[in-house]
Amino acid sequence: MRATFRNLYDQFNMAAFIRDRRTHAMSVLRWALILVPMAATVGTLCAAFLWSLDAVTRLRFAFPWLLYLLPIGGFMVGLLYHLTGRSVEGGNNLIVEQIHEPGGGVPLRMAPLIFFGTVVTHLFGGSAGREGTAVQLGGSLSGGFGRALKLDTQATRILLMTGIAAGFGAVFGTPIAGAVFALEVLAIGRVEYRALVPCLVAALVGDWTCLAWGIHHGIYHVDATVPVDALIVIKAGVAGVVFGLVGLAFAEANHALGGWLKRMVPYGPLRPVIGGVALIALVWLFGTRDYLGLGTLAATSDGLTIASFFGPDTHPWSWALKLLFTVVTLSAGFKGGEVTPLFFIGAALGNALAPMFGVPTGVFAAIGFVALFAGAANTPLACTFMGIELFGAAYAVPIAVACFVAYLCSGHNGIYLSQRVAVPKVPAAHLTPDATLRDARTHRASRRRSRV
């Protein structure tokens, strides 16, 4: 008996077990000491950024003539990037590239440049979002922390991912979606579970810090109640095809027009001037300013916002107009992001589709809100969690079905061209292992040229 106990003790190796737990505890403590201040800093900057966006938007409402300064504001930002920010013009794609293959790092100057550039865009009326700014704030600051602490390559990768999570979670008030987004956005078909806990911690701390500064996020109510049965799930799946195709169209239009402008106008600061003039022309053509800015606030009580699409009224073509205004803004080089405009487009498209499917507008607006983003960004898991965080778990199943179908139908396309294809959505012999969406797009373009 004594010998058996001794053998069991030797096999268990209590000393090694204690050493392992001690090493693990020290690693957790080390990461906590890095992540908490980093995420709190990102959350603070996101709070200042959101406050600034609200302030400049209300200023634009008070002084409508600011719209006519949009070309000048675009030139100022374009010139600033041309002179000092060429190394950070890649934006979100630069951060994704640095996570995949750490090299020169994410310059710290990305943070003030994108903050200023996005605020100027919204002051004068550009149709852009805020996710790109939040992600770049997080990536820039986390990269700065990594360099200051002299972290190794693997730790730097994880820290950059936590910066994305902190920025995304703070700016939208959805920490779970923020954490999953940072894990999922890097590669199609692969989730970086190694950074799961750090990203969740960073997203939570970023969100809590932003809330502690008194920032409040928009709340969208789905007032109608529909039983979640097989029929509503099938309808959500069919609508998911439309959301995926429109997400694909948004991404491709943005890349195509942006590429064409770069070829036609090599001097970067002039492209926003052309885009600003085009936006002013669109306002005059359609006789409305509802599609400028974020789309979360309106200058008048009858103006359209994202919340409008959750109401009973139907707006058949608002999604297409917002898509047009946003593509012109972003492809011309104005700073911001794609996600909040995608929320607007998705909710508006869901609102337009609802009568065709015999579903209350609010239900399909909620589904479209996240599903179109899932298709455009290739992040179905993050968007499903976002839908649950924003709208509750009652419609979790149709939301998930729409997000997954939209993801499948958008193909190997997306708003982030540095995203890699780890597991193709469908068999694709032309895609090499870990090819990027940029590679896939280049291959499609070369095939089209060869057929002509």
Domains in the chain: ranges and CATH: 21-213 (1.10.3080.10), 230-421 (1.10.3080.10)
Average pLDDT over every residue of 162-173: 93
Which of 180-189, 219-228, 401-410 is predicted with the least confidence, judged by mean pLDDT?
Answer: 219-228
Average pLDDT over every residue of 430-444: 81
| pLDDT band at residue 27 under the 50/70/90 scheme | low
Check whether 268 has a pLDDT greater than 80.
Answer: yes
pTM of the model: 0.92
**Pairwise pLDDT comparison (77 vs 449), residue with the higher score:** 77
Strand partners, 436: 420
CA distance 265 to 319: 29
Per-residue model confidence (pLDDT) at position 10? 55
Per-residue model confidence (pLDDT) at position 258? 94
Check whether 8 has a pLDDT greater than 90.
Answer: no
Yes or no: say if 76 and 240 are a contact pair by the CB < 8 Å rule: no
Output the CA–CA distances (angstroms, integers) from residue 123 to 14, 72, 298, in the order listed.
Answer: 63, 12, 14
Q: Is residue 238 exposed (0-12), middle (13-18) or buried (19+ Cβ within 10 Å)? A: middle
Which of 10-19, 104-113, 308-317, 398-407 is predicted with the least confidence, judged by mean pLDDT?
Answer: 10-19
Per-residue model confidence (pLDDT) at position 198? 92
| pLDDT band at residue 67 under the 50/70/90 scheme | very high
| pLDDT band at residue 239 under the 50/70/90 scheme | very high
CB atoms within 10 A of CB 2: 6
pLDDT in tens, 371-382: 999 999 999 999
CA distance 424 to 404: 14
| pLDDT band at residue 7 under the 50/70/90 scheme | low
CB atoms within 10 A of CB 151: 16
Check whether 429 has a pLDDT greater than 80.
Answer: no
Check whether 169 has a pLDDT greater than 70.
Answer: yes
Per-residue model confidence (pLDDT) at position 34? 86
| pLDDT band at residue 21 under the 50/70/90 scheme | low
DSSP 293-349: S-SS--SSTTS--GGGGGSS---TTHHHHHHHHHHHHHHTT--S-SHHHHHHHHHHH
Contacts of 230 (CB under 8 A, 6+ apart): none
| pLDDT band at residue 14 under the 50/70/90 scheme | low
Output the CA–CA distances (angstroms, integers) from residue 435 to 337, 412, 441, 446, in the order listed.
Answer: 24, 10, 10, 16
CA distance 132 to 397: 28
Per-residue model confidence (pLDDT) at position 163? 92
Which of 196-210, 212-226, 331-345, 365-379 is predicted with the least confidence, judged by mean pLDDT?
Answer: 212-226
Average per-residue pLDDT for the chain: 88
The DSSP element (H or E) to which 435 belongs, if any, is strand 435-436
